[in-house]
Amino acid sequence: MAELFGRVAIIGIGLIGSSIARALKENDVCREIVVGDINAAHGRRAEELGLCVAAHTDVAKAVDAADLVILCTPMSTYESIAERIAPALKQRAVVTDVGSVKQAAIKAVKPRLPSHARWIAGHPVAGTENSGPDAGFATLFKGRWCIVTPESDTDADAQAQVQAMWTAFGSNVVSMDAEHHDLVLAITSHLPHLIAYTIVGTATDLEMTLQSEVIKFSAGGFRDFTRIAASDPIMWRDVFLNNREAVLEMLQRFTEDLSHLQRAIRWGEGHKLEELFTRTRSIRRSIIEAKQA
Amino acid sequence: MAELFGRVAIIGIGLIGSSIARALKENDVCREIVVGDINAAHGRRAEELGLCVAAHTDVAKAVDAADLVILCTPMSTYESIAERIAPALKQRAVVTDVGSVKQAAIKAVKPRLPSHARWIAGHPVAGTENSGPDAGFATLFKGRWCIVTPESDTDADAQAQVQAMWTAFGSNVVSMDAEHHDLVLAITSHLPHLIAYTIVGTATDLEMTLQSEVIKFSAGGFRDFTRIAASDPIMWRDVFLNNREAVLEMLQRFTEDLSHLQRAIRWGEGHKLEELFTRTRSIRRSIIEAKQA
């Protein structure tokens, strides 16, 4: 395809950042890539892997002359990174991110950028439980959704360019309100992760004799939770701290529903269990029909 | 291999029963298979698929002259099936099952069998979210655990024969106390299923506009839960009713841990989240090392 950008700066070269670097190269989306990462070892590894022309531990250096800057770091770093890169941004540079909570991303980054910079928040709904520059791969975003959350003053060209990039990666791009995004992701992603972390934690607190058997017999259902609960700890800590309201709301609903089932088990009310279990089966069918399975 | 049994009666030709039929045939474990299923359509389908020489809706007819009888029905049917087949069992017939709760299986079946019959409870830790005679496949048990829970008066030859059958299917057979089995499975299988059913249920109760988006963006973590929550409703209803004590105990621990995390999110205590999320990651590594991933 025709190059969408000259220089792209990727800040944070972990699973998502390094997947973006690989996808940018594989799809000829830009002329060159520069990496900014406070972890010098990750920057060097990115250079070794040929993911960039240069890597800097100073993010301000990394964004120099970049037409597009993509934040791929945990959300707790957004404020300080935005402050640090602001004076170094090229005129009319496009700035985007990949964070899992959009209202908080906007609040952390936007007010710190210079008025000439063009900000558009984004969130590719894709990932694995692995981390670091070696974990990424170019097809991570293929066939997956990427959500952009423009605001009333978002530059239309900037949005179109960022969307074109995700489309080039094979993503299905949708645009929605940041608040709505945070609510939808709270139930489809944040709550499932919280629950998976919890149950795996509950299992690790069992007596040692039981613990080894939990691992041994994990194929019974537990295994699926351990995969989710192996996701990046810092990234997920930041997700929960930044989407607190929506996560607590969904958690409240979940807890009520779980208490209802607990009571049904205690009192032997089989029909209540059967009713729910029959209903949930149809949701799976909908997902298979929507080709997200 | 040398045939372990002459005639095998499979009671219930769903996912597990039909997988056993296929595995018996593929590994030449017996001379012939007879199916008993109150669902006449399933019995006919088993005949069409060539899984048996005959299928009966009367389970007493199905066990006639059988050297081995395998119960593969939901656990709520165990008592009535045991009563029905008891007078029809061949002298010294081996009777086993595949149910997910072993204390309840023993309690439901054993006292109803004639003294000449040889009972050994079993549980292959394997399955998929699909049901019915078409859903089974011969390799379902390959590389998976099969747990047998003998009692003090279990016939050693019967146990050895049943274990040899599972070994022929490619399973890793272990023997343990029924009470211990029920506790281990409560955390590795029953609680994960209960939680998955709950969260998928919580999602189906959302406003309609959110619901379609839950399906759309399910790749964020929710999808794994929907697969688990698509498992057979009757079978799982029976699991929870039959393993009530252990499930409620594990659920209590889980709920306490979830409340702890909820509080950490509400009060912004990131270090508590990070600590847990780091700890759970190592469990996943243990599972990968144990080759159950």
Give pLDDT tens digits for A39-93.
999 999 999 999 999 999 999 999 999 999 999 999 999 999 999 999 999 999 9
Contact between B125 and A219 using a beta-carbon 8 Å cutoff: yes
Considering the domain architecture, whether residues A100 and A171 belong to the same structural domain is answered as: yes
Considering the domain architecture, whether residues B23 and B122 belong to the same structural domain is answered as: yes
pLDDT above 70: residue A1? no
Structure confidence by residue, pLDDT tens digits, A190-230: 999 999 999 999 988 887 778 888 888 887 788 889 889 99
Q: Chain centroid to CA B207: how far?
A: 34
Contact between A283 and B226 using a beta-carbon 8 Å cutoff: yes
Structure confidence by residue, pLDDT tens digits, B87-116: 999 999 999 999 999 999 999 999 999 999
Return mean pLDDT, chain B. Answer: 94
Structure confidence by residue, pLDDT tens digits, A229-278: 999 999 999 999 999 999 999 999 999 999 999 999 999 999 999 999 99
Averaged over B215-236, what is the pLDDT? 88
Give the pTM: 0.90
Q: Chain centroid to CA B68: how far?
A: 19
Q: Which residue range(s) make up the domain with B285?
A: 180-289
Q: Burial-class residue A282 by CB neighbours within 10 Å (0-12, 13-18, 19+).
A: exposed
- Give the gap in angstroms from C-alpha A167 to the nearest C-alpha of chain B: 17
Closest CA to A197 of A108, A129, A276: A129
Tokens representing A28? 């000829």
Considering the domain architecture, whether residues A66 and A201 belong to the same structural domain is answered as: no
Chain A residues within an 8 Å CB radius of B185: 217, 220
The domain boundary residue, chosen from B135, B151, B176: B176
Considering the domain architecture, whether residues B124 and B147 belong to the same structural domain is answered as: yes
pLDDT above 90: residue B184? yes
Considering the domain architecture, whether residues A169 and A134 belong to the same structural domain is answered as: yes
Contact between B230 and A201 using a beta-carbon 8 Å cutoff: no
Considering the domain architecture, whether residues B187 and B79 belong to the same structural domain is answered as: no
Number of domains observed in the structure of chain B: 2
Contact (CB, 8 A) for B16 and B98: yes
Tell me the angle at which helices A270-289 and B233-242 cross, rounded to the nearest 10 degrees: 140
- Give the gap in angstroms from C-alpha A150 to the nearest C-alpha of chain B: 18
**How far is the CA of B176 from the CAs of B122, B173, B210, B292, in angstroms?**
10, 10, 46, 19
pLDDT at B292: 61
Considering the domain architecture, whether residues A156 and A224 belong to the same structural domain is answered as: no
Any idea which of B9-18, B48-57, B72-81, B217-226 has the lowest mean pLDDT?
Answer: B217-226
Considering the domain architecture, whether residues A203 and A159 belong to the same structural domain is answered as: no
pLDDT at B88: 98
Averaged over A142-164, what is the pLDDT? 97
Which of B202, B205, B232 is the mutation pick for testing A, counting most A CBs within 10 A? B202
* ipTM reported for the complex, 2 dp: 0.90
Strand order in the sheet with A172-175: A122-124, A145-148, A172-175
Q: What is the CATH number of the domain that holds B269?
A: 1.10.3660.10
Q: What is the CATH number of the domain that holds B71?
A: 3.40.50.720
Contact between B283 and A250 using a beta-carbon 8 Å cutoff: no
pLDDT at A291: 67
The domain boundary residue, chosen from A176, A210, A227: A176
What is the pLDDT confidence band of residue B293, given thresholds at 50, 70 and 90?
A: low
The domain boundary residue, chosen from A142, A176, A210: A176
Considering the domain architecture, whether residues B201 and B262 belong to the same structural domain is answered as: yes
| Identity of residue A55 | A
Return mean pLDDT, chain A. Answer: 94
Which of A205, A210, A215 lies at the smallest CB-CB distance from B287?
A: A215
Considering the domain architecture, whether residues A96 and A215 belong to the same structural domain is answered as: no
Considering the domain architecture, whether residues A14 and A148 belong to the same structural domain is answered as: yes
Considering the domain architecture, whether residues B189 and B234 belong to the same structural domain is answered as: yes
**How far is the CA of A140 from the CAs of A3, B178, B242, in angstroms?**
20, 44, 43
